[in-house]
Amino acid sequence: MTLIKSDIRGNRLFPVFLKLDQLETLIVGGGYVGLEKISALLKNDPLANIKLVAPQITDEIKVLAQQFPGILLIQRPFRSSDLQEIDIAILATNSHDTNVKIKRLARTKGILVNVADTPDQCDFYLGSTVKKGNLKLGISTNGLSPTVSKRLRQLFEETLPEELDDLIENLKTIRDTLKGDFEYKVNRLNEITTELLEAKPTES
C-alpha cells in the first residue's frame, strides 16, 4: 500500500484535461478578456462547444465564430436561463459585481466557474498548455503569475522536439502488441522508456 504524504503548502490544484467537445462551456463577456478566453479554449480544441453571451461582442470574436462550428454567439445581457445545460462557465465581464453574482448563481446549479482575473472566486484556472501532437503539458502557478506560465510555455514549445509525437505513436504500437496483464505491460513500457532515456547518441 502506497502512503500519501500530506503537504498543504504550495500548489494543491488537481490537473485534469477536459474533453471540450463533450461539454457545454459558457463564456459571459464579449470584450478583450472574452476573446482571450475563447481563443485559449479553441487553441486546445477547435471542436469545443462554446456559448458566448454579452451585450457587445468584438469583431474578432465574431470572426472566430464564423470559423469554428461549435461557437454560438448571443448578443444581449446575461440571463439566468443561459446556465441551462452548461457544464463549466467562464465569467469575463468588465464588472466584478456582475461576475460574482453570476458565479454564485452558477454554483447553485453545480457548475464549475472561472472568474477572469479573480483567483479567489475561481473553481478552476485556465493554465498555459504546450502541445506537441498527442503530447500536451499543462502549466499552473496556482493563479499567482500567468506571466511565468506564459514564459514556461514558450520555453517548452521551443525546446521539446517535434519527434516526441512519433515516439508516443511508436510506444502505443508496442503496447498494443504486448501480451500479459496490466502490471506486466506497465513494467515493460517503463523498461523501454528507461532505455530510451539512458541511450547515448553515437558519434558520427
- What is the model's pTM? 0.79
Same domain, 114 and 131: no
- What is the rounded distance in angstroms from the CA atom of residue 201 to the CA atom of residue 179? 30
Residues 189 and 151 in one domain: no
pLDDT tens per residue, range 42-74 = 999 999 999 999 999 999 999 999 999 999 999
Binning pLDDT at 50, 70 and 90, where does residue 8 land?
A: confident
Rounded to whole angstroms, how far apart are CA atoms 154 and 197? 23
Distances (CA, A) of 9 to 3, 109, 146, 204: 18, 31, 20, 49
Same domain, 96 and 133: no
**Tens-place pLDDT, residues 135-169:** 888 998 887 888 898 899 899 888 888 877 777 77
Residue given cell 482571450 in the structure block: 36
Task: Let me know whether 42 and 70 are in one domain.
Answer: yes
> Is 52 domain-assigned?
yes
Integer Cα distance of 52 and 43 in angstroms: 16
pLDDT over threshold 90, residue 10: no
Separation CA 26–CA 106 (nearest Å): 11
